[in-house]
Structure 1
Amino acid sequence: MNADQNNCAQNCLDAAEANAMTFPEIVAKLIEAGFESYAIDFRRSTAIYYLPSGESIELGFPADDVPVEASFDDDALRAAILEAQTLAPGYTYKGFRLKAKRAGCAGYLVSFLGHRAVYFGRTGDTHVERFPQ
């Protein structure tokens, strides 16, 4: 992994936190830099960005006081995802993160190759969100 890729990953994470780039913009930047996926772990407040070679970079983001709920509420998670997709008034990534955690989402994997995001709960429940065509 080169310095430009490290910087790209950090810039994308920072932009998400600052609401400076949308999800599609972040995905485009990461693909352009050569990444094939990334994973967000809400319990550890970390993001891991993966290259096809198997190399990865792990970065931290600000922790908050909201725990990941034990039960997975797919409807509440879908509502949070829809707010993000439509950039609903007042949407922030931090707000999304808090709503997702309250819905029992422990994290998610975004696969550029698979054109999807897979959200998962503490019990292994999942929700798959395919990228729009």
Structure 2
Amino acid sequence: MDPRKQAVAAACLKGAEENTLSFPTIVGMLMEEGFESYAIDFRRARAAYYFPDGGNFELPMHMLDVPVAAAFDAARLGEAIREAQQQVPDYSYKGFCAKAAAAGCAFYVVSFSGRCALYVGRTAETHVERFPD
């Protein structure tokens, strides 16, 4: 695996967790390095990064202070997504992750070619959030 690509992914994850990089900036950086998608797994505290040729790797991420709720609440998840998109006062990525987990999101996948994020609950309920044009 290319160490530069791993370093870019690690910098993006760190930037998200420290609130120094926005989602659009992270998407741009990862796309520039040739990534196809990434996935965040709240239950395992892992971030996985994927290339079009099937190559991939994982990085550890912060552990959540809250468990993933058993019930998937798409409306509550949508509120957390809107807060992130609007960068409301006191927004933080870690706070977003906690709210998403409390809304029953177990993991999410961001697809650059699909221009969307897919949020998945513990019993496979889903919510698709399209990238704005």
Asked if Structure 1 and Structure 2 have the same fold, meaning a TM-score greater than 0.5 normalized by the shorter chain, the answer is yes
Q: Unaligned 5+ residue runs, structure 1?
A: none
Deviation at 1:65, TM superposition (A): 2.6
Question: Helix, strand or coil for the counterpart of 1:49?
Answer: strand
Structural mapping, 1:1-16, within 5 Å: 1-16=1-16
Q: Which amino acid counterpart does residue 68 of structure 1 have in structure 2? A: V
Match in the other structure for 1:50:
50
Letter in 2 for 1:34: G
**Which position in structure 2 is the counterpart of 1:59?**
59
Partner of 1:26: 26
Moved over 2 A (4+): none
Structure 2's unaligned 5+ residue stretches are none
What is the CA distance between 1:64 and its match in structure 2? 2.5
Paired-residue identity, %: 55
Counterpart of 1:80 in 2: which secondary structure? helix
Q: TM-score, normalised by structure 1?
A: 0.98
Matched residues in 2 for 1:71 and 1:46: separation? 22
- The residue correspondences of 1:1-133 to structure 2 (distance < 5 A) are 1-133=1-133
Two-structure CA RMSD over aligned residues (Å): 0.6
Answer yes or no: is the 8 Å Cα contact 2:64–2:97 preserved in 1. no
TM (norm. structure 2) is: 0.98
The Cα offsets for residues 105-130 of structure 1, whole Å up to 9 and x where unpaired, read as: 00100000100000000010000000
- The amino acid across from 1:9 in the alignment is A
